[in-house]
Amino acid sequence: MAWGQLDIFDVGGVNGGLQVGENLLNIRSNRDTRRSLKWFLSVILVFAISCNCWIFFRAENIQDAVYVFSHMFDGMGIIKNYILRGYLDLQLNGDQVIQISCSLLALLVFDYASLKEDVLLKLTKLPTMCRWIIYYILVFWIIIFGKFGSSQFVYFQF
């Protein structure tokens, strides 16, 4: 099989392998273990594995993937300068930084709250007026800050 001929069964096999590994390491969590160091480290590990898998997904061939892995930390040196250079390369203006920061803050608050309770269930129990205010805020946020246009869907670019 050539590098570019992966199909859904191969992806499913990788996913299955990761799930077996999760079961063997017993890193599934429940509400009681979500604050433990083991849970936190397992989240970081899953995130790192996922990010590394994206490299293989985007690479044209195995040599390109190996090149990315071997040069991934080049130029890092002083962490502060590395992060600042990465931020400056994004070329964001002040409004975009505020928009991204507010969106991330909302996501983090929702995510943190969902660790303690079912946020969507709690939302359905709010008075109708409060629910609709939240719905309108979300819709206006999307309308105001959404990127609408005729750009190609991101997954069609692969």
Bigger pLDDT: 36 vs 124:
124
Out of 42, 71, 100, a domain closes at 71
How many domains are contained in the chain?
2
Share of the chain above pLDDT 90, in %: 9
pLDDT given at position 131: 92
Minimum mean pLDDT among 6-10, 21-25, 152-156: which range?
6-10
pTM of full prediction above 0.85: no
Distance CA 38, CA 43 (A): 9
Helices (H), the chain: 8-25, 37-58, 62-71, 79-90, 94-116, 119-124, 128-145
In a shared domain, residues 43 and 102: no
pLDDT given at position 133: 94
Q: Within 10 Å of residue 145's Cβ, how many Cβ atoms?
A: 13
Query: Distances from the Cα of 128 to the Cαs of 30, 125, 135, 143, in angstroms?
Result: 31, 8, 10, 22
In a shared domain, residues 62 and 131: no
